[in-house]
Amino acid sequence: MFLALLALAAAGNAHAQSCASAEVRALLGEAARRPDGAAFDERRLRWTAIIEAHRACRDHPAEAQALADWAKVALDANQRNEALAAENARHSLAVRAGLERHRAESAQHVGILLMERGENDLAVRRLREAAQALEALGDWSQAADTHSRLSRWNRQSGDYVAALADEQAALAMRRRIEPPPNVWRSLLNLAVLYEQLELHEDSRRRYADALDEAEREGNEANVAVVLTAFAGYLNDFGTVDAAQALAMAERALAIVRRQGDPVQVASALLQTGRAHANLHHLYEADRAYVEGLQLATSASHRAMTAHLNLRHGELAMAQGHFDKALERIEAARVGYESTGNRHRLVKVYAALEELHQRRGDPLAAAQAGRERFRLRDELLGSKATGKLGELLSRFELTEERRRSERLEQEKAVAELTLVAQRSRLQLIYIVAAAIGLALLLLGWRHRTARRLYRLLHHQNQLVMAQAEQLSAANRQLTEQSQRLYRSSITDPLTQVHNRAYGMQRLEEWLAPDPGGRACASVILFDVDHFKAINDRHGHPVGDQVLVAVAQTMCKALPDSAELCRVGGEEFMALVDDDLLRPAVEVADRVRRAVQELQVTARGQRIDVTVSAGVCRAASLPERSAHRAYAAADTALYLAKGGGRNRVVLFGERPAVVRASPR
């Protein structure tokens, strides 16, 4: 059997070298898709033959499709490394050959696989690339799904404003399709986001909207997902909504049992158990948790296993079984740490704090409480609160404008009143003079006029004071607007420009109108092994390294260049590329300057290097910010894969590479 397969592969290669007919390649594809009980290595041989056949014929679309099919086969066999390698090869081919559909789909699949491996920064970059490419292709459904995936990752990592922006973008894209698909999913993700931000009224409303939308679409599986999530939200309020939560969870459980998805069944059992626990039905809660744990464990679903261990541990604590409770909650902690779910870790440490207090261990309780508040501060502090504060500042600006308009209106009314009072005063003077000349006995009228004048003078002083207050408010509004603008274009850590400003400037540099640069080049820098620096020395030291690298880059770049931080440890520089100062030499000078940088933390010297990818806009077939950025990113990817601490120029054969040993 194996020899026959090898013969088939060899025949495929022979046909490929002579650009075999479509019928022969179709037979090869059919053979590769048939399981036949063949081992994975045998299937790899057949698919390699097919891919090589298309490559020999320079049939790029067919080669890309073969790589996509092979990646799916590898995923079905749970060979995720093989699938990732195939999708990376497909992505590189799509970039070279300009196959935008394959580029978008491969970037999306690479991002998902990298996120499973914990390589989050590169995964997010690929998913962002996929979202932009899918939007350019008009594939709003896939683009929306990608934005929703990015939103969930941002929410778990604590960047709530980015999560909100991505999910609102996904919702807008889904509503562009007629009829709109999966609107309930965006509404559900927004509900969870509001819940984690403790905006409970908004959260409850979004949960209800998501359930209405799922019911309207009529898909039972989607209805079950929303019912389970809604029940989980209601369970957080204890006995208050426990009866309603139990009804929703049991309805969801009945649906997913018919469909047979073990993870969905485990999720519904989790919320059923929580509702029973809130209603003090401890035996029923324990049965639901035990069954759910068996299903989640058999499906190797780490997140669901962690959810069930946490709630099962809380149940054991309520029953007074402290040792069992500690074992289960610690298992949940390990599971959440392995999946990077920091929001859930806050709940784990809250449960550990209560458990240690009940066990009479105040020191352990204090340590758990400190960890809980640390994580909570990280989630709702530096990342979310600052950016949420920006949104609130915008709201305050709107309110300030409304107050200014109201003061203007009040000022206009006061001026009209003053004119009317002056006219009335003049009339009173005339009448008083006539009456005084006619009847000296009516002198008291004059005293009345004097009192009215004093009152008018007092009112005039009040109006002037209000005018001064209005002027001060306008000055304050102007200053606040300027501060907000500077803040909106500046990266808060490194004090260089942020990604939004950098992408805007990239489009302006490459614009075809007179504002564009004729010899513009894009350079992407990425700090090498930055994750290892964070893991070894901690995130504060990692932030210190990023600040030092940004300052060094600013000094090494020409005065006309512009530098921004596009995310994580990645920076983008826009430079003028001319014969006297080529962009590759500029990038290499920056690389050497960073290599010579000395960062010391806790008495230890930290060596830092960067890799760089360069794209000369003039070398692109189509001059656009999107293509220039993608080309620079491809060059950076080659620099990282070629050993790091080097510069790669996109599009040159051979590629320009500059590097020096560390």
319-346 per-position pLDDT tens digit: 888 888 899 888 988 888 887 777 788 8
- Helices 625-641 and 120-137: angle between axes, nearest 10 degrees: 150
Say which range, 31-40, 402-411, 459-468, 651-660, has the weakest mean pLDDT: 651-660
The whole-angstrom separation of Cα 308 and Cα 329 is 9
The whole-angstrom separation of Cα 152 and Cα 160 is 9
The whole-angstrom separation of Cα 96 and Cα 58 is 12
Across 486-515, average pLDDT? 87
Whether 217 shows a pLDDT value over 70: the answer reads yes
Whether 253 shows a pLDDT value over 70: the answer reads yes
Helix H or strand E segment including 606 = strand 604-606
Q: What are phi and psi of 187, to 5 degrees?
A: -65, -40
Looking at the chain, the whole-number percentage of residues with pLDDT higher than 90 is: 29
Whether 110 shows a pLDDT value over 80: the answer reads yes
Across 126-141, average pLDDT? 88
Whether 386 shows a pLDDT value over 50: the answer reads no
pLDDT band for position 395 (50/70/90)? very low
pTM of the model: 0.48
**Comparison of pLDDT for 611 and 660, the residue scoring more:** 611
Q: What is the pLDDT of residue 13?
A: 44
Q: What is the pLDDT of residue 27?
A: 46
Q: Which residue has the tokens 């033959």?
A: 49
Q: What are phi and psi of 646, to 5 degrees?
A: -155, 165
Across 156-181, average pLDDT? 79
Closest residue by Cα to residue 377 from 352, 348, 346? 346
Across 412-420, average pLDDT? 80
Looking at the chain, the whole-number percentage of residues with pLDDT higher than 70 is: 87
Q: What is the pLDDT of residue 26?
A: 54
Whether 552 shows a pLDDT value over 90: the answer reads yes
Q: What is the mean pLDDT of the chain?
A: 82
74-93 burial: b if 16+ Cβ within 10 Å, else e: bbeeebeebbbbbbbbbbbb
Whether 158 shows a pLDDT value over 80: the answer reads no
Exposed (0-12), middle (13-18) or buried (19+): which is 259, by Cβ within 10 Å?
exposed
294-316 per-position pLDDT tens digit: 998 888 888 889 888 998 988 88
